[in-house]
Chains A and B, each alone.
Chain A
Amino acid sequence: MERLIAAFSDLTGTEGVIPLSLAYAVCIGSLLGFITVYAMFAIWMERKVAAHMQVRYGPMETGGWHGWAQSVADALKLLFKEDLFPRDGNKLLFFIAPAVVFCGVFAGFIAIPFAAGIQIADLDLGIFFIISIAAVEVVGVIMAGWASNSKYSLFGAVREAAQVVSYELPSATALLVPILVVGSFRLGDFNAYQAQHGWLIFSGPFMWIAALVYFIASLAGCKRAPFDLPEAESELVSGFHTEYSGMRFSFFFLEEYASMFVASILMATLFFGGTTLPFNLFDLGNWGDYADAGRLAAQAAAANAPADLVAQAARAAAAVGPFSDLGNILAAHLGIVVLLLKTFFFIFVQMWLRWTLPRLRVDQVMAMGYKYLLPWGLFAVMGTAVWETYAA
């Protein structure tokens, strides 16, 4: 990101706000484009995966080869639908709700690294920020349910809020386990650690429990798979997005697939190596440079650091990224490909679970969250703390 700002600064010849806002505009715009294209692809993938698991074809006609253009056609159809509004609904809240829900998820993409230096913001608060921002979408859902002025919408929204809020606990607790091992919230540090020490899933017996707990809790947080009470209610009774039509409705859909992507990419980054291959073959993603830069920066930030150390740290930080030479560029892009492959594998597993398991009742959902996932998450945290202190 710094490189992009510097590049724009050189391009426009100014400093300060203009290259900053240009860089941000480019990054956010491309991320938004990526998310919408990804969502269309993910919906097509879901329909094909669902179909083949049910021994049938999915979309086959639209666009020729296996109906790849079906999502595009659906998006166009949604654009042309009539924009309904419930008669006594709350106009302002009704209009804001899809935006709040989508922004809540979209903001989580800011902290995710696709390779060293390819990140919108290398937040020190990385994963904690993602967890906090995911809490904002609950407010949007409640807003949507209330503004629809319909009992079923309200109850669907309340139930959904209860489910998501309850599952934030085991989700955050399970995420504590890799955080304990790596010792930092920064997502780049996870990649760098796994580049040096191998995938986190293989370090310690409690990682498997934590990974499983996090995966299940993230399914509930995305309102997916066996926990899709809010959506199923919309098939049977209603749900918080009943009164929405056309493009507003598609915002909720985008939000669901975007949060699936965030959950999968966190799963891939925190437990399964991120951009790295199993024995860190080829140093995909350039995390070696990143780790060195981080180490130097930590040394330079200590009080009374000598000036040349500070300068060296600054140079190392500037050198992180895919622009130094061809090897780095290739490593970065292959790293992104590997990361996306892992992410799509987890998205496939999420879809696989959706089309295998029946829906859980609301009391079963709550029981699972509090009685099964949370205790095992805490057990994994305590076990990892002991393991890290005495064994590793």
Chain B
Amino acid sequence: MYIMIITAAVMMALLGLALGMIIGGVARLFRVETDPRIELVTELLPGANCGGCGKAGCSDFAKSVVSGENPPSRCPVSGAEQVAAIARALGIDAGQSFPMKAVVRCGGDTRQSTRLATYNGVIDCAAASLVAGGPKGCAYGCLGMGSCAHVCPFGAIEIVNNLAIIHAEICVGCGKCVTACPRGVIKLVPADATVHVYCNSPQKGVAKKQVCKVGCIGCRKCERALPDKFKVTGFLAEVNYSSAPTAEEAGAVGCPAGCLLEEQRHLEIETHDPDWSPDK
């Protein structure tokens, strides 16, 4: 009996010791060196794992920064200070950083635009646009079912009056909404631009007017007033973001259609001004 207990105890102790030593030895023999800089950069990154840089997540991006594949400025979420901190830590050039933000180029909320039909399906823009092109009168405007708001990792998109509104102060420009939108209404623009054309339809002015009160009619008033800041292609005006107009300049143009707006004004109209109409 005692022999059995002693044998069992000794055998287990020896086995445990042997296994421990083997594992220890093998761990030392097969040690994989991981670059400590990857850890460091991961800590300096925002950790949102938004994928805006094109990598699988922040630690994947950190790996590519350390290997020199990407400059730190490729992270759309990091501000200039964070990018500089990463560059300092690695002793490399920060690369030029252009902070971006997303803009929904549509002003056709429920008050301004018409509907083709009542849609009772899944509340999802991609699903809705599959059914005869979607319930909205305008085939190019925002469907307002919030597919972009769902994918936004930062909660920067709000749906007001069936129209997606991006809060510029929250948006970091990761571009997830751009790919989520089935109609391509959302575009990434430089973060310091404040004036946008809230229309995305290339249709003729008359056709647009039938379905939306605030569609761009292509009158070229903005282009004539400030030819280097606006460009009209067909019937759609676009802001030249490489020399973005200021809010005053845009106000002076006096867009008759009501689609050329300053960002804060657009937000105000949608959230606080139920009686606004472009005719006033």
Check if A and B associate: no
Q: Which A residues fall within an 8 A CB radius of B?
A: none
